[in-house]
Amino acid sequence: MNPVLPLAGYVIGLTAARRADELGALFVRKGATVRYGPSIRIVPLADDTELHAATRRLLDAPLDVAVLTTGIGFRGWLEAAEGWGLGEDLLVGLGSARLLARGPKAKGAVRAAGLAESFSPTSESNAEVLDHLLSRGVNGLRIAVQLHGEPLPYFVESLRYAGAEVIEVPVYRWVGPADPGPLDRLIDAVLDGGIDALPFTSAPAVASTLAMAKRTGRHDALVTAMRERVLVAAVGPIAAGPLAAVGVPTVQPERARIGALARVVAEALEQRTPRLRAVGHRMELRGQAVLVDGELREMAPAPMAVLRALAHR
């Protein structure tokens, strides 16, 4: 008998826009079934008039500090600026400023562009970047803050309150999916008990999923399912924010990485797998299937519900 993979029997729902296939492949290799329902899409950088306007404003006067939050966003910004004929000017402007890279991917993109960061927090958090800036004083400084798909109101307003001029740089924007059908069906599957785990990779993906549920009258039911039955995971505290706001607990990896997210989901599902003995057989209730004496058997929802009730007696 071939060994049963650790996530065989489980169904994972993914709402990610970027790297969804990569994350899905990690779960499939562990035996899970993956259902995709993208909840967001990225507005192409070169088509974004807000980014163009922010870049022009940044180049109007010397820049003191630039906060760079994502590698993909920074690379895309440089490519977009090149397309507008502003690439060289932007590199010169950034080269004269102190560059703060939030994490290793942003740091790598900075160095690949021939620039050098002056600070990168070990926590990879915006909070540590903000503390670093405020502790050194920002009064009178001109600071560019690269957004990562959504506003950073606390970060930006804290700098402004401390006396800085802040230029928000929306290097990409999240908008709703072009085709909401897959997300709509994914929400239905959650409510029908057909999804065992929902890993989220960004706060906008969470917000868009909840917004879709609210528009269609399913918000409360979805939140209840995520609170009580579905394992919900977030790649980091920023992604977990909108979930915490509606009382949904999450599991999170120690480091905000796709691979680490897949591992923490697998570990959490393993820990919450009900196990029981019945009529001399060993059983594991794995989401949508039962492992009986080492053999995986798919189960219909009704008998699975009976087994779960027995397991929790």
Mode of pairing for the β-strands spanning 11-14 and 41-42: unpaired
Q: How far apart are CA 65 and CA 102, in angstroms?
A: 13
Instruction: State whether 219 and 114 are in the same domain.
Output: no
How many of the other CB atoms lie within 10 Å of CB of 133?
23
Q: How far apart are CA 269 and CA 6, in angstroms?
A: 9
Inside any domain, residue 4: no
Q: How far apart are CA 105 and CA 121, in angstroms?
A: 12
Inside any domain, residue 75: yes
Instruction: State whether 155 and 265 are in the same domain.
Output: no
Instruction: State whether 141 and 240 are in the same domain.
Output: no
Sign of the Cα torsion 26, 235, 207, 215 reads positive
Please tell me the total count of domains within the chain. 3
Inside any domain, residue 2: no
Instruction: State whether 56 and 165 are in the same domain.
Output: yes
DSSP 302: H
Inside any domain, residue 34: yes
| Per-residue model confidence (pLDDT) at position 2 | 67
Instruction: State whether 268 and 278 are in the same domain.
Output: no
Inside any domain, residue 163: yes
Instruction: State whether 87 and 162 are in the same domain.
Output: yes
Mean pLDDT split into 10-residue runs, the chain, 313 residues: 82 88 93 94 74 94 95 90 94 96 91 95 88 96 88 89 95 84 96 94 90 96 96 90 94 88 94 79 82 81 72 66
| Per-residue model confidence (pLDDT) at position 118 | 95
**Looking at the DSSP assignment, which residues form a beta bridge with residue 173?**
149
| Per-residue model confidence (pLDDT) at position 191 | 95
Inside any domain, residue 5: no
Contact of 276 with 311, CB cutoff 8 Å: yes
Which of 138, 160, 175 finishes a domain? 175
Q: Three-state DSSP class for 229?
A: coil
Instruction: Tell me which amino acid residue 55 is.
Output: T
Q: What angle, 0 to 180 degrees and rounded to 10, lies between the N-to-C axes of helices 181-191 and 219-228?
A: 50
List the CATH number of the domain containing 111: 3.40.50.10090
Mode of pairing for the β-strands spanning 165-175 and 142-149: parallel
Q: Which of 195, 263, 266, 200 is nearest to 229 (CA)?
A: 195
Inside any domain, residue 64: yes
| Per-residue model confidence (pLDDT) at position 219 | 97
Q: How far apart are CA 230 and CA 12, in angstroms?
A: 10
What's the domain range around 78?
Answer: 45-175
Instruction: State whether 66 and 35 are in the same domain.
Output: no
| Per-residue model confidence (pLDDT) at position 108 | 93
Which of 147, 175, 203 finishes a domain? 175
| Per-residue model confidence (pLDDT) at position 312 | 67
| Per-residue model confidence (pLDDT) at position 276 | 75
Model confidence, pTM: 0.75
Instruction: State whether 57 and 152 are in the same domain.
Output: yes
Instruction: Tell me which amino acid residue 14 is.
Output: L
Instruction: State whether 33 and 148 are in the same domain.
Output: no
Inside any domain, residue 1: no
Q: How far apart are CA 69 and CA 145, in angstroms?
A: 8
Which of 175, 210, 232 finishes a domain? 175
Instruction: State whether 162 and 58 are in the same domain.
Output: yes
